[in-house]
């Protein structure tokens, strides 16, 4: 079994489709199917159960594919080590961030990173915090932005900047007259929050619990832009991180909080064993200078 054949297995396992896997691997579907059948014959087991409608992985196949993935990852790591030795600021660099941050940070930092490291192939990944942590552990990404604190001894974590929260209200809301507001004043209101799995929801819930603020139970948004539209529609009020606020925006009021201002801290995490620390240092410098 060679590396190309292993890549066929992994592609079919990930896509659950032979034709799509063949397209991803840049081979014809008959070629891919034939090679997988040969592997199954050589191993003496079935890796996939297939019919005209779906592809399923057998129990033995799951273990084989998991091993194949590890081997391919190690091969990729060997290539990256070689690339870094030739030019430490070249090759692929995969940077992750959670959705309530990536949308506002990535467009600003990408041009700066490319200017600093023109030979670098920057790959951006947006996902929820738990998925990013798993990807970072597996080696699928090189570094990621997280809300701090982040408790994991496997990672090196660098604090980058603080992102203040503002209260977002519709123009006709009773609180819209305020030029600033204390967090405690929200105890008689319900806040619109994000759905489960978003670290911003966890940040907001912590603030709510500290100040006895209730959550609106009948609605949970999938993203910040949904929250923004719901506030503009007069459905409710919410906490909005400063990084997501457009100074020229109309139809919504953003009210600063009195001291102590609630905020979230943003940090950059990477594996302590990473071979790309020179690249990470440049990325860290760009992110530390990031301000809106």
At which of 83, 99, 118 does a domain end? 83
- Of 52 and 204, which is predicted with more confidence? 204
Task: Look at residue 236 and give its three-state secondary structure.
Answer: coil
- What average pLDDT does the chain have? 90
- On the question of pLDDT at 86 being above 80, the answer is no
pLDDT band at 30, cuts 50/70/90?
very high
Mean pLDDT of 162-189: 93
Pair (43, 57) in one structural domain: yes
- 71: pLDDT strictly greater than 70: yes
d(CA 82, CA 76): 10
Q: Is a pLDDT exceeding 60 seen at residue 292? A: no
Model confidence at 83: pLDDT above 80: no
Residue 161 has pLDDT above 50, yes or no: yes
Whether residue 93 is found in the same domain as residue 166? no
Domain identity same for 246 and 274:
no
- Rounded CA gap, 136 and 99, in Å? 16
Whether residue 163 is predicted with pLDDT greater than 90 in this model: the reply is: yes
251 shares a domain with 212 = yes
Residues 43 and 66 in one domain: yes
184's tokens:
């405690």
Question: Looking at residues 232-250, what average pLDDT do you find?
Answer: 90
Q: What is the mean pLDDT of residues 246-267?
A: 91
Average pLDDT over residues 212-220: 83
Instruction: Residue count of the chain, please give it.
Output: 292
Answer with the one of 83, 106, 121 that is the final residue of a domain. 83
In the 8-state DSSP scheme, what is residue 183?
Answer: G
Bridge partners of residue 239, in order along the sequence: 167
* Over residues 181-191, mean pLDDT: 92
Provide the pLDDT confidence category of residue 223 given band limits of 50, 70 and 90.
confident
CB proximity list for 267: less than 8 A, separation 6 or greater:
145, 146, 147, 148, 150, 157, 158, 159, 160
Judge if 170 and 32 occupy the same domain. Answer: no
How many Cα atoms are found within 13 Å in the side-chain-facing hemisphere of 261? 17
Residues 182 and 276 in one domain: no
Question: Where is the domain boundary, 52, 83, 114?
Answer: 83
Domain CATH code at residue 61: 1.10.10.10
Count the domains in the chain. Answer: 3
What's the pLDDT at 87? Answer: 76
CA Rg, the chain, in Å?
24
pLDDT, tens digit (0-9, with 9 covering 90-100), for 93-146: 999 999 999 999 999 999 999 999 999 999 999 999 999 999 999 888 999 999
pLDDT of residue 217: 79
Q: Which two tokens stand for residue 275?
A: 């071979």
Banded pLDDT at 291 (limits 50, 70, 90): low
Q: At 119, give phi and psi (nearest 5°).
A: -90, 0
Domain co-membership, 166 together with 260: yes
Q: Same structural domain for residues 124 and 67?
A: no
User: In the chain, what percentage of residues exceed pLDDT 90?
Assistant: 64
Alpha carbon distance 144, 131 (integer Å): 11
* pLDDT value, residue 51: 75
Quote the CA–CA distance of 277 and 222 in Å, as a whole number: 34
Q: Kindly state the tokens that stand for 214.
A: 């209730």
Instruction: Give the residue carrying structure tokens 């990477």.
Output: 270
Of the candidates 241, 240, 247, 236, the one whose C-alpha atom is nearest the C-alpha of residue 174 is 236
| Residue 147 shares a structural domain with residue 107 | yes
What pTM, to 2 d.p., does this model score? 0.73
Q: What CATH number corresponds to the domain at position 91?
A: 3.40.190.10
SS3 252: coil
Q: What are 92's two structure tokens?
A: 């692929």
126 and 98 in a common domain: yes
Distance, CA of 249 to CA of 240 (rounded, Å) = 13
Give the DSSP per-residue string, 79-125.
Answer: HHHHHHHH-TT-EEEEEEE-HHHHHHHHHHHHHHHHHH-TTEEEEEE
User: Does the pLDDT at position 236 exceed 80?
Assistant: yes
Structural domain range at position 11 = 3-83
Residues 166, 155 share a domain? no
Strand 91-97 to 120-126 pairing = parallel
């Amino acid at each position: 079994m060679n590396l190309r054949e292993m890549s066929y297995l992994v592609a079919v396992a990930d896509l659950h489709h032979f034709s799509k896997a063949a397209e991803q691997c840049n081979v014809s579907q008959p070629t891919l199917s034939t090679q997988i059948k040969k592997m199954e014959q050589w191993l003496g087991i079935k890796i996939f159960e297939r019919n005209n409608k779906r592809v399923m992985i057998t129990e033995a196949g799951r273990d084989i594919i998991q091993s194949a993935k590890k081997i391919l990852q190690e091969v990729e790591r060997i290539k990256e080590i070689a690339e870094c030795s030739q030019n430490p600021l070249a090759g692929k660099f995969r940077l992750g961030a959670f959705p309530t941050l990536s949308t506002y940070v990535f467009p600003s930092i990408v041009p700066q990173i490319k200017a600093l490291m023109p030979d670098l192939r920057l790959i951006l990944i947006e996902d929820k915090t738990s998925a990013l942590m798993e990807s970072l552990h597996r080696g699928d990404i090189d570094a990621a932005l997280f809300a701090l604190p982040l408790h994991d001894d496997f990672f090196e974590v660098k604090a980058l900047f603080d992102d203040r929260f503002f209260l977002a209200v519709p123009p006709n809301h009773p609180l819209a007259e305020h030029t600033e507001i204390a967090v405690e004043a929200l105890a008689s209101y319900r806040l619109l929050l994000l759905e489960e799995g978003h670290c911003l929801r966890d940040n907001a819930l912590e603030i709510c619990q500290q100040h006895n603020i209730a959550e609106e139970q009948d609605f949970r948004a999938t993203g910040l832009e949904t929250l923004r539209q719901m506030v503009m529609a007069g459905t409710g009020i919410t906490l909005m991180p400063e990084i997501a606020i457009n100074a020229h925006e109309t139809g919504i009021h953003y009210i600063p909080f009195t001291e102590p201002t609630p905020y979230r801290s943003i940090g950059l995490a990477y594996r302590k064993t990473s071979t790309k620390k020179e690249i990470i240092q440049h990325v860290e410098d760009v992110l530390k200078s990031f301000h809106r």
